[in-house]
Structure 1
């Protein structure tokens, strides 16, 4: 497994086109691998995420089972004439193997929190429809429902640090909610419009099951993984 960091040159028009279309970025990331890994859910897959921490720096992170070659992405959205290659790839296996129960980490996750609802005039037994969670309260609830199966527990705040009587129990914030609608080439079904809502979670977690967490880190969490959602990354707690 590999973790790759690529700095996007947002001054270039092609870079802005990629950032504005998760479908285009998905294609650009996939072109970095001669043989794209399987997407059937049986093993690690390619996951990616765009972080915009400051106006001057936009970073693309990729987790993948094979080492990518981002030469084409540098030509599209980097600095082709620079002395540096434009991206850095780290071996991920040693880090994954070192995860231990009880460890505490800072984390970031960009995800697509959704739930299934019935149509307004649906009858019992009718199929449900997937809808996005719109409020931070429900988005946090979505993540809390999945933490045990994902191999971690979000750290709870001490009582004296909770600013609200309800909804502020965890070391967790939700930010950068982005309702996205974009087009992709028409599929056989004729549906070519994609609508997702991406949100970013920052917080602290405690490892409860290292094997499950390793699976989450390499296979993603939630829906819309092809479109920049699902990638969970860890960092040392300051």
Structure 2
């Protein structure tokens, strides 16, 4: 597996066009691979995620362009030269492609990692069916619903989210609904961006509810976590959802 990081220049027309439509960005990502490169049976799918710079009130602006980053996870190395030429930085560090095999093989229970993921949290409504007679797929829209959607899946994904007390550092002063102190009991998962993506796909229009999270996890089942890293999480994988990335916390 390969993980590719591409810095996009938000001041270039090509970058603006890519970031305006997830359908256009999906096509650009898939054009990184030659015909037949992704046709092996059982091969993991291509995942991608677009990270936009977080806006922190009162923070000192960073020098240089905002850090709009496109991540691509793929079973074969991509050739994203067309993206770099039209929307990126043709300089050292503008693009990095890394073979993740050693990292994935080295995952083990008890390791702690910072994580980031963008998901499309959905649920099926048993009382509503679509034109094909199937249960309607609806989107979770509140911060609490979307966070719980992630927490409901972490066990099967092979990790657990740490609490402030487990991770250490300064603990927030917290109280439960009964007024009892529960300092450090909060889970280290934060919603950093939420939004709605709308775009055309052929003659139809697609609407996705997106939620991006950051946090700190502890590995409980390395095989399950490897599967989640390679195959993604939830719906909307073709359009920038489901990719989870790990880094030192």
TM-score > 0.5 by shorter chain: yes
Paired with 2:159 and 2:205, the residues of 1 have a C-alpha distance of 34
Aligned to 1:212: 224
Aligned to 2:188: 171
Return the match for 2:110 from 91, 94, 102: 102
Paired with 1:39 and 1:47, the residues of 2 have a C-alpha distance of 16
Aligned to 1:112: 120
- The CA RMSD measured in Å over matched residues stands at 2.3
Aligned pair 1:201/2:213, yes or no?
yes
How far does residue 119 in structure 1 lie from its aligned partner after superposition?
5.1
Paired with 2:40 and 2:217, the residues of 1 have a C-alpha distance of 27
Paired with 2:50 and 2:123, the residues of 1 have a C-alpha distance of 24
- Equivalent runs, 1:1-238 vs 2, <5 Å: 1-34=1-34, 35-38=36-39, 42-53=42-53, 56-79=66-89, 82-84=90-92, 86-118=94-126, 127-158=134-165, 161=172, 163=174, 165=176, 169-186=186-203, 192-237=204-249
* Structure 2 segments unaligned to the other structure (5+ residues): 55-64, 178-184
Query: Structure 1 pair 205/83, CA: closer, same or farther in 2 (3 Å)?
Result: closer
How far does residue 185 in structure 1 lie from its aligned partner after superposition?
1.7
Q: TM-score, normalised by structure 2?
A: 0.83
Paired with 1:135 and 1:39, the residues of 2 have a C-alpha distance of 39
Aligned 8 A contact 2:43 2:75 in 1: no
Paired with 1:164 and 1:133, the residues of 2 have a C-alpha distance of 27
3-state SS, counterpart of residue 222 of structure 1: coil
3-state SS, counterpart of residue 76 of structure 1: helix
Q: TM-score, normalised by structure 1?
A: 0.86
Paired with 2:17 and 2:193, the residues of 1 have a C-alpha distance of 19
Paired with 2:123 and 2:147, the residues of 1 have a C-alpha distance of 13
Paired with 1:119 and 1:162, the residues of 2 have a C-alpha distance of 42
* Structure 1 segments unaligned to the other structure (5+ residues): 187-191
3-state SS, counterpart of residue 99 of structure 1: coil
How far does residue 128 in structure 1 lie from its aligned partner after superposition?
2.2
3-state SS, counterpart of residue 142 of structure 1: helix
1:197-228 Cα shifts (integer Å, max 9, x gaps): 11101001110110110010010001000000
